[in-house]
Amino acid sequence: MLNKAYFYIDEHLYPKTERKNYRRMWMAAILLFPFVWTRREEFQKISQKEWLLLFFSGLFLALHFALWFGSLKLTSVASSTIILALQPIV
């Protein structure tokens, strides 16, 4: 509870996106814990190389969305979606 109060007190220190990401991260950890716990043997079989690939996949996906959300300050959602949809054509 102290951590949550800290974000409310110091809202000006953290961007809104970062506060939302922390909230989503903790909710995902809480909701996924039972799934991971019941299948822990399967997770132990994942090699170090596969863990590294998973980590970088998540990192680049997060980077993609952070940059896309930042680009929405410069254009509308509709325009941004059209640009993304036309990417395979270009």
Q: Rounded distance, CA 79 to CA 40, Å?
A: 44
Q: Do 34 and 42 form a contact (C-beta atoms < 8 A)?
A: no
Q: Rounded distance, CA 48 to CA 13, Å?
A: 36
Per-position pLDDT tens, the chain of length 90? 445 555 555 566 667 777 787 888 899 999 999 999 999 999 899 999 999 999 999 999 989 888 888 888 888 888 888 877 887 775
Helix pair 48-71, 77-86: axis angle to 10 deg: 130
Residues 82 and 68 in one domain: yes
For residue 84, what are the contacts with CB-CB under 8 A and spacing of at least 6?
68
Residue 59, pLDDT score: 95
Residues 38 and 58 in one domain: no
Residues 40 and 6 in one domain: yes
Q: Do 43 and 36 form a contact (C-beta atoms < 8 A)?
A: yes
Residue 73, pLDDT score: 83
Q: Supply the range of the domain harboring residue 55.
A: 47-90
Number of compact structural domains in the chain: 2
Residue 41, pLDDT score: 93
